Amino acid sequence: MHLGQPVPPLAPLATAPARTGKPPAREELEEMRIAHNAEVARGDDAAAQQDQAKIAQWLDRSVATSFSEGVELLGVRVTGGVEPRLEIWFKSKGDPTLGDASFNVRSSVEARESFSLIPPDPTDREMAFPSTIPTKLWRSGFVYETDVVLNHRIGRERYSGYWRSRDGGRPPARLDGQLQTSLALIE
């Protein structure tokens, strides 16, 4: 759809797992996101709102933030496993954003680990790659997700995000004027 190709109708999705149950796999949330976007494209606002609510129940909404350019950070989700990740979920309210921007994630070690003799690493690290769909192609009402592999260092590590322009245009900025958004704290 973002590249002007026809989109076939999607088969109905299975009901999302209850919040008290096991967290859904990445693929399940991705299917809900795609279904949500297809419903927005078809103009089925009621179904789109239901799917967005199903997604939001699995996100840490305490980091929700509004940005200029019609971008909203819905929340984040930290996944475990062999390759722990930080999933960052956005909703576009503008069609499209003014330029091509990327949401960058930086990690900083704030304190040494309890009972560790290893001092905190003073180096801030850039962690994220640009989204696969450029923000200038984002569509109003659609939900987008980007993720970062958590290469956790020893100690208490904070992951923060900020927008940066990739084409010299104006990137989205927090409406409250802060430069970065704290996304997660991993100990």
Tokens of 89: 């979920």
Domains of the chain plus CATH, in order, are: 59-186 (2.70.50)
d(CA 111, CA 157) in angstroms, rounded, equals 7
pTM: 0.87
The tens digit of pLDDT for each residue in 17-53 reads 555 567 888 889 999 999 999 899 889 999 999 999 9
| Dist. CA 180–CA 187, nearest whole Å | 20
Reported as a single tens digit per residue, the pLDDT across 72-115 is 999 999 998 889 999 999 999 876 666 889 999 999 999 988 88
User: Packing angle between helix 26-42 and helix 45-56, nearest 10 degrees?
Assistant: 160
Alpha-carbon dihedral sign for residues 60, 61, 63, 66: positive
